[in-house]
Amino acid sequence: MIPMYKIGVLGGRETVMGFKALGLEVYPVEDLDEARHTFRRITAEEDLAILYVEENLAEGLKRDIDKFKDKPNPAVILIPGRDGPLGLGLSALSAAVERAVGTNIL
């Protein structure tokens, strides 16, 4: 039987709750410590394919996120929060493209 993979969103309540209506798993957190604990718990699950992480938490979760940089699951993708983009998502995408292609084509 083919496993059913989940897509999750980790961030502040205002950011993640809209994704619940789309059928995604949401993980609202209040602070960085709760985000770190939640990130570690949910990435230990084998059925998580994609995890969207709010950019404002990404800097504090950098070590944890970097562990998944070269792994297929879960793909960790940074998204802007309710205050708008910080540019971290685009930087991460550029770095991933450069690793894959050998040069930054963006």
The confidence score (pLDDT) of residue 80 equals 83
Residue with the two structure tokens 């059913």: 4
Fold designation for 6-101: Rossmann fold (3.40.50)
Q: Which of 7, 41, 39 is nearest to 24 (CA)?
A: 7
pLDDT tens for 51-97 read 999 998 988 999 999 999 888 889 999 988 776 555 554 555 555 44
Question: What average pLDDT score do residues 4-25 get?
Answer: 92
Q: Is the entire prediction scored with pTM above 0.85?
A: no
Question: What average pLDDT score do residues 23-27 get?
Answer: 95
DSSP assignment of the chain equals -PPPPEEEEEE-HHHHHHHHTTT-EEEE-SSHHHHHHHHHHHHTSTTEEEEEEEHHHHTTTHHHHHTTTT-SSSEEEEE-BTTB--SHHHHHHHHHHHHHHSS---
Q: Residue ranges per domain, the chain?
A: 6-101
pLDDT tens for 39-53 read 999 999 888 999 999
φ and ψ at 101, to 5 degrees?
A: -95, -30
